[in-house]
A = this chain, B = another copy of it.
Amino acid sequence: MRVIRHVAELQQLADRERSLGRSIGLVPTMGALHAGHLSLVEQARRRTDRVWLSIFVNPSQFDDPKDMDAYPSTFEADLRACRAAGVDVVFAPGADEMYDPDSQTWVDVDEITLPLCGAARPGHFRGVITIVTKLLLAAKPHVAVFGEKDFQQLAVIRRMVRDLGFDVEIVAGPIVREADGLALSSRNVNLDAEARRQALVLCQALDAAERAVAAGETRSKALLQLVRQEIGKAPRAEIEYAELRDPESLEVAPPELARATLLALAVFIRPPGAAAGTTVRLIDNRVLHPQP
């Protein structure tokens, strides 16, 4: 397994692999790898001859510097996990390699970045899309794999790739969960035992909505009430958003659901009372399929 630090070296290797007829699958990550990331490596391996994984904690997508400081970093363990998973190349550039100090170019996606995570985190998607553009230009992959947990991110990246005409296939990896249902996230390490327990309300709310839809419920309002009620059972949980949206355009779902609809959640798990401790922001989602 090679560890590459520089864009130019990665581009040369991409040209070489391509000229030898080998396909490249890229898994962009911010490190702190868990089984969710490794499932994306598997997705890439099924489709391409070479699997490349990038590790770059992208400063421009954090609206809050404290959030970036709190983001876990486990570089040596990440390298071991990549080696064990058969990753061929880890691309781990320094911040200066990805952002020239004079850099003034940004890739923006309009409507689809406005709701959900985009509403609460100004500039977040501009940062995400710009770094994904740079990573695609650096690795020249045939396939790039992103997790469905960041559902809006995936939709925004698909939109950007289609709009700009990037010659890359975007592949989605399903959410990987703990046995009790908690969606894997690098941020989960910041949950204490009680917060970890209360964090289960996210997937419990998704399960409840899915059961209601299976039982014939199609009213948006009733489903969102149910979701808020489920999340309300955790005293330390505070909803940032809980919304029903079109899975592709991310437009607000109609009052009566008639087709596949995204239920997207962002929830803060706060320390108890005025206690010191870390507030952890978690997201989760599911696509609901109303009965015809």
Residues of A within 8 A of B (CB): 7, 11, 15, 18-19, 21, 98, 100, 102-112, 129-130, 133-134, 137-138, 140, 159-160, 162-167, 249
Contact = CB atoms under 8 A, between A and B. Distances in A.
Contacts of A159: 104-105
B104 A106 contact: no
Contact of A21 (B7, B19, B105, B166): B19
CB-CB nearest 8 A-B residue pairs: A105-B163, A104-B110, A11-B167, A103-B163, A105-B160, A7-B165, A105-B109, A106-B108
14 contacts: A7-B165, A98-B165, A100-B162, A100-B163, A104-B110, A104-B111, A105-B163, A106-B107, A106-B108, A106-B109, A107-B107, A107-B108, A137-B164, A137-B166
For A134, A140, A162, A165, the residue with the greatest tally of chain B CB atoms inside 10 Å of its CB is A165
Chain A contact surface mostly: helix
Contacts of A103: 163
Contacts of A133: 164
For A100, A105, A107, A138, the residue with the greatest tally of chain B CB atoms inside 10 Å of its CB is A105
A28 to B, nearest CB: 14
State the copy count for this chain: 2
B167 A105 contact: no
A134 to B, nearest CB: 5
A18 B103 CA distance: 29
Contact of A18 (B15, B98, B163, B166): B15
A259 B163 CA distance: 41
Contacts of A167: 11, 15, 137, 140
A164 B133 CA distance: 7
Given A18-B15, A18-B18, A19-B18, A137 B165 contact: yes
Nearest to A130: B164
Nearest to A105: B163
Given A15-B167, A104-B109, 12 more contacts: A7-B165, A19-B21, A104-B110, A104-B111, A104-B112, A104-B163, A105-B107, A105-B110, A105-B129, A107-B107, A107-B164, A130-B164
Contact of A110 (B106, B160, B163): B106
Contact of A105 (B137, B138, B164): B164
A127 to B, nearest CB: 13
Contacts of A98: 165
A144 to B, nearest CB: 14
A107 B104 CA distance: 11
A158 B247 CA distance: 37
Contacts of A102: 249
A106 B249 CA distance: 17
